[in-house]
């Protein structure tokens, strides 16, 4: 049985066809830009709120492992000398407490929830000590400019 072009068009409009029409490049580009735009929107909103509170911005990572986790660190890196104070101030602003779990590991860590969002902040104040506890985490190793 041969279907007419009219019946194929009706099937396509009604959503019953399994044939996809080609998507224009501009539509693909807009769709492909959405993940970055969403992440940028979240991080920009966080830093804008912090700015109102008089805080310097943080670098934010968004992780999607089970629940969504927003992780903030100093923009100069996790070992930046001002990182501890900045993360502490952000923790106070966000209403999250410092965790005692990493005490003695060369790291300070704040963890908590802001409504349905899980947020962590951390700063490494002793990279050598941190790297002995977490040898597989490159965050604990200072950046070297030597070749």
What span, in angstroms and rounded, lies between the C-alpha atoms of 55 and 83? 12
What span, in angstroms and rounded, lies between the C-alpha atoms of 141 and 103? 18
What span, in angstroms and rounded, lies between the C-alpha atoms of 87 and 90? 5
Tens-digit pLDDT profile for residues 15-72: 555 567 777 888 888 888 888 898 899 999 999 999 999 999 999 999 887 788 999 9
pLDDT at 8 over 90: no
Is the separation of the CB atoms in 53 and 93 below 8 Å? Answer: yes
Instruction: For residue 147, name the pLDDT band (cuts at 50, 70, 90).
Output: very low
Q: Where are the domains of the chain?
A: 23-140
Q: Which of 2-11, 78-87, 138-147 has the highest mean pLDDT?
A: 78-87
């Amino acid at each position: 049985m041969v279907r007419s072009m009219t019946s194929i068009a009706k099937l396509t409009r009604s959503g019953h066809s399994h044939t996809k029409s080609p998507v224009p490049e501009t539509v693909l580009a807009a769709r492909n830009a959405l993940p970055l735009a969403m992440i940028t929107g979240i991080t920009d909103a966080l830093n804008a709120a912090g700015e109102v509170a008089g805080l310097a911005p943080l670098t934010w990572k968004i992780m999607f492992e089970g629940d969504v986790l927003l992780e903030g660190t100093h923009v100069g890196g996790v070992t930046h000398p001002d990182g501890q104070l900045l993360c502490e101030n952000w923790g106070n602003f966000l209403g999250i407490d410092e965790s005692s779990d990493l005490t003695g590991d060369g790291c300070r860590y704040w963890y908590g929830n802001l409504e349905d969002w899980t947020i962590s902040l951390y700063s490494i104040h002793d990279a050598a000590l941190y790297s002995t506890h977490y040898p597989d985490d490159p965050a604990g190793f200072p950046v070297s400019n030597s070749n």
